[in-house]
Structure formats: C-alpha cells, structure tokens
Amino acid sequence: MTLFLVLEQGLNGLQFGVMLFLMAAGLTLVFGIMNLVNLAHGSLYMVGAYLATMFVQLTGAFVLAVVLALAGTLLVGVVVELVALRTLYERDHLDQVLATFGLILFFNELIAILWGRAALYSSLPAWLSGHIQVLPGVRYPVYRALVILVGLAVAALLWVVVSRTRLGMLVRAGASNRTMVAALGVNIRLLYTVVFGFGAALAGLAGLMAGPIYAVQPGMGEQILIQVFVVIVIGGIGSIRGALVGSVIVGMVDTLGRAFLKPMLATFLSPSAADTAGPALASMLIYMLMAAVLAFRPQGLFPARGI
Amino acid sequence: MGSPTRVVVLGLGLLLLAGVPPAAAVFNQPFYVDLFRRVMIFAIAALSLDLILGYGGMVSFGHAAYLGVGAYAVGVLMHHGIHNGFVQWTLAVVASTLVALAIGAVSIRTSGVYFIMITLAFTQMLYYLGISVEEYGGDDGMRLATRSQFPGLMDLKNPTVFYYLVLGVLLMFLYIGHRLVNARFGMVIRAAKSNEPRARAIGFSLYRYKLTAFAIAGAMCGVAGALLVNQTEYLTPEFMHWTRSGEIMFMVILGGMGTLVGPIIGAAVFLLLEDVLSAWTVHWQIILGPFLILVVLFAKRGLFGLLPGAASRNG
C-alpha cells in the first residue's frame, strides 16, 4: 500500500516538475538570449489559465479551447514584448525587475476586473476525468498522466528545435554572443520577439494545464514563478538542460516532502510536534535545497554553456 | 547632503513631518497621524534597503523578510505574555540581524540575477513558514494584545507619542545612514558597487563588507517591522509577501536611490498615492503598475534626483 502511495506521489511530483519545466524553459531562454529577468512570466501563465477556462466555457470543446488559449497567450506575449519589454533589454536587472513587477500588478488587476478575484474551477471533459491503470492495483488520473506526457513531449520537442534546427542554432548563437549574431545579419529583434512569444506560449501551456488541477485566480502566476526561480537557480540560468533537471528535482522534493515529511517526523516526534513542523518544513524544503546547491555550486548544477 | 536645495528639501520635509500631529489635531483628522506614521515606518524600511541597493548595488528583492522578522519577534513575545518593549525590540533587532546574516551569507556568494532570485526565494520561504505556523495565527495572522510597553517612559497607545517615536527613529537612522555611507566602510561598499574587480584588486575582502552592510540593513528593517506591527496591532505573514519587497524597492527608486532622503520621499509619495488611488477605485493597482513602468523607463533617478545638485554623488 505505501509503495503505491509513494508511486502515486512520485508521479504527482513528476507532473508538477514538468509544469515547472514549461515555465522554466521560457524564462531561462528569455534570460539566456535577451538577458532579461522577466517577473511577468507568471502573468503569462495566469493568462493562459484564464483564456483556457474562458474558451472552454464559450466553445464547450476542450481541445479547441486549448488551441485558442495557446494562440491567445502567444499573442499577449508578443504584444507585451513589443510594447513594454523591448526597451528593457539594454537596461540593468534592477530596472527589468521593477518594470516587470509593474506588469504583474497590471495583469493581476486586469484579470481581477475582467473575471473577479474569486477562484475559478474549470471542469474536465469526460474523456479526461477518469483513471488509468499504471500498474496492477495502481490507478492514476488520466488528466495528470496526460500533463506528464505533454510536458515530456514538449521537452523533447524543445531539445530537437534547439539542437537540430536553424531557429535553434540562432537561439544558441544569440545566447552566446548577441552582438556577433546581429553583426552577421540576423534580424535579432525578430528573433527576440519569436523567442519571447514561444516562451509565453509555453507559460500559457503550463497555465492552462494547471487550471483543472489548481485554482485559477489572480496571483496564481507568482506562486509558481518563485518556485521556477528556485528551479533555475538550482539548474543554472540560461540552461535548458538545467531547467529540466532542476524542475524534476524541485517537483519531486516539494511533492514528496508535502506528502511524507509529516508521517516521517511523526515516527520520532510527538504527533502534535510533527503536525506543526511537518507542513512548515515541507514548504521550506525546496528553498533549503536551493541554499545547499548554492553552497556547493554557486552557478547551479548545469551552468549555461551552449544551452 | 550635497547642494543647498537638497538640504532645504530635507529640512522642510522634516518640519512638515513634525507638524503633522498638531495640524491633524487642529483639523480634527486623526487619520493623518496614522497615515504619516505609516509613511515614516516604510521610509525606514526603504532607507535600509537603499543602503544595500543604492549604495551597495545589491539588488535584494527580499527586503520584506526583515520587516516580517521584526514584526514576528514583537508579535510572538506578545503572544507569550512578554509585553516589555525593550525586550521585544531587542529581539526584533537581533533576530532580523541573524536572518539577514544567514540569507546574506548564501546570497552574497552570487551576484546579478542570481542574487535577485535568491533573496526573493528566501523571503518566500519565510512567508510560507509564517503561513504554516498555526500557533502564531498562520495564514490569518493574529491580533496583538496591546502595543509594546515601555513602562515609565512612554505610552505607544497615545498616537502622538508613537508618532514622534517613529519620527525619532527615522531621524536616528538617517543620521546613522549618513555617517555610515560617508565613513570608510561606506566608501568600500560604494566602491564595490561601482567597480567590484577594482575594489577587490585594491585589496578589500568585499564579501565581509557586503555581508555587514546586508546585516545592518536587515537590522534597520527589523526595527521598521517592530514599528509596523505596533502600528497595525496585527501580526500577519502578509508583511513578508513578495509584493511588499517590490513595493519597498519601488519606494527607493521612486524617491531616488543612492540618496538618503530619496527613500523617504519615495515612501511618502507611494503611500499617499496608494491612499488617494485606493479611495478612488479598488482597482488602483492597474494604475500603479503602468506608473511604475513609466518611472523606471523615464525617471530612473527618482524624484529627489530631479532636484538641482543631483550630480553630487555624496548623497
């Protein structure tokens, strides 16, 4: 029984991990190439979740809603890049942090005006709400399994795009030397917009997949954003491989910590002490992990060298 | 303090702050004593951040942590029946210094964007810790039994007394800050900001200097936290919410970073703006957000930086 529980929580950890990865990939690419710290990345996640919820209600077709929401987030991302972020690439990190903090306030409030502050819960179509048999006796929700599959597929696709296509070559070149790429005649502005749009779409994908699992509400993006920061710090900024490894580690540690820390503490602490310390420790676990990684490898596990 | 204009602005501003309680009494508007006390508390927090951000070049996106630690030190002791302000505030300073040392020890090893993310992440960790400890109110926070008590000295329940105490603390920190940034220590910190490799080459061990500055800023902000929890008489993890860190940082930029008076002006403008806008619409943040972006893009030197004599680099 406990083995099944561990397996189930492990899958949950993986599911959370791939979601973190979708966010981290965009954030780390944008940082690696444009040298932009984008706090508003979480807002795009939120936009994706809201658009998907809205389109599901409007059209009633899940897949169509997903496609529309992805396109919508991509569009929002491109508009944000063109209007606000372009001017920030050459600024220092402090300016970027503050300006994108302003964007967060704006987006959260805009969403609150349009949809209200209360959490929305989006429903799943019947074909996604069942369970599948993972192992004999172990059942796992179809939807979460799908999230894992989509996340892994996107990771594979991203790897192919970055390492095997011309666009990916430009991305890698842009990450290692922007000025040189521009000097060789590449339209670097267009490349920036494309990369940012892609990153936005990935964040939107994470957001729309998060919708049916977590609550959809203003501010949902920042909660995950800060965890994504932990992922990136652990994995190494600008590195997609680092983002993947970091995401899975953080997803696992966080999920397993929340599930098993309390019962583990209860074996040698009094039940009431375990009740207090368990959740507190579990919520701090990933940050302590980050501190530990930094103590040994200040540049993260996979410092960015050619993504 | 640089040019005469700036000294005049500082003097006028302090006179104005000192005149708030009598004026509020004359016009029978006690609310403004409260509002300006809040302004000064956040001015202390912003001032402390400016020491490391404006002078030290350390972009800490987690300054609300020390606000929270200071507040929790007071609130937790209060919860356990220790109402003595001396004990509470001493703990607030000690605790926030230690937390700043711990966070600083890890974060200062890194720089740039790592530093921003790590300070933010650690603050978020403390925020979650605050939320998950049910004993001290957890998510909802808890009401304080009373304000910190300084028997025989003063009564913080009296709004005017409390007001002048906060003003006194602000003046004290302003003076300490002035001495600090112009001392050898401050010069080293500023050297680290303007050219780290060069400062290192001269032979300074910057890590220790930066960590010390980080801890001093944390201690100052801890005092602001102790004041803030007395102001609200309510302890909540919201003090450590990451948006609070962003707001304090914005106050510094808005007023003018790398100056001592700037953060005070920034805190005043920010909180008064918040007061006006939120009376006007509940969705005031939709105005604040773009305003923030515009300030960053077009008025980087802040309001104080727009005054004549801004070229002076001596704050």
Between B255 and B7, residue with greater pLDDT: B255
| Residue from B286, B291, B294, B301 whose CB has the most chain A CBs within 10 Å, to mutate | B286
Burial group, residue A145, by CB count within 10 angstroms (0-12, 13-18, 19+)? middle
pLDDT score, position B37: 92
> Residue B314: what pLDDT?
43
Checking if the pLDDT of B310 tops 60, the result is no
For B98-142, write each residue's pLDDT tens digit: 999 999 998 888 878 888 888 988 998 899 889 888 888 888 888
* CA atoms of B61 and B242, how far apart (whole Å): 8
Does the pLDDT value for residue A79 go beyond 80? yes
**Which residues make Cβ contacts (< 8 Å) with residue A305, sequence separation at least 6?**
A239
pLDDT at A169 over 50: yes
Instruction: Tell me, yes or no, if A87 comes closer than 8 A to chain B by beta carbon.
Output: yes
Across the interface, whether the CB atoms of A295 and B106 are under 8 A apart is answered yes
The answer to whether the complex's ipTM is over 0.95 is no
CB B90 within 8 A of CB B67: no
Predicted confidence at residue B211, as pLDDT, reads 94
Q: What integer pLDDT is reported at residue B69 of this predicted model?
A: 95
Interface test with A, best of B252, B297, B298, B301 (most A CBs within 10 A): B297
Interchain pair A113, B113: CB under 8 A: no
- pLDDT, one tens digit per residue, over B48-66 is 999 999 898 899 999 999 9
Compute the average pLDDT of residues A148-175. 88
Mean pLDDT of chain A: 86
Q: What's the pLDDT tens digit per position in B278-306?
A: 888 888 888 888 888 888 888 777 777 77
Helix H or strand E segment including B217: helix B206-232
Q: Degrees (nearest 5) of the Cα angle B250, B254, B255?
A: 120
The domain limits of chain A are 2-217
Overall average pLDDT of the B84-102 stretch: 94
Supply the pLDDT for residue B257.
87
B133 in contact with chain A, both atoms CB, cutoff 8 A: yes
CB count within 10 Å of CB A236 equals 24
* Mean pLDDT of the A228-238 span: 88
- Select from A48, A83, A91 the least CA-distant residue to A66: A48
DSSP β-bridge partners for residue A135: A138
- Rounded Cα–Cα distance for residues A77 and A83 (Å): 10
Instruction: Tell me what the pLDDT averaged over chain B comes to.
Output: 88
| Six-digit token string for B297 | 């893009």
B253: chain A residues, CB-CB within 8 Å: 94, 98
For B23, the enclosing helix (H) or strand (E) is: helix B4-26
| B148-164 pLDDT, tens digit each | 888 888 888 888 899 99
For position A295, what pLDDT does the model report? 76
Residue among A91, A102, A230 minimizing CB distance to B290? A102
Q: What is the DSSP string of B49-110?
A: HHIIIIIT----S-THHHHHHHHHHHHHHHHTT--BHHHHHHHHHHHHHHHHHHHHHHHTTS
- Put simply, whether A90 touches B (Cβ < 8 Å) is no
Query: Which pTM value belongs to this model?
Result: 0.88
Q: What is the rounded average pLDDT of the residues A68-74?
A: 94
Q: CA-to-CA distance for B284 and B271, rounded, in angstroms? A: 12
Condensed to tens digits (0 to 9), the pLDDT of residues A105-139 reads 999 999 999 988 888 877 777 777 888 877 777 78
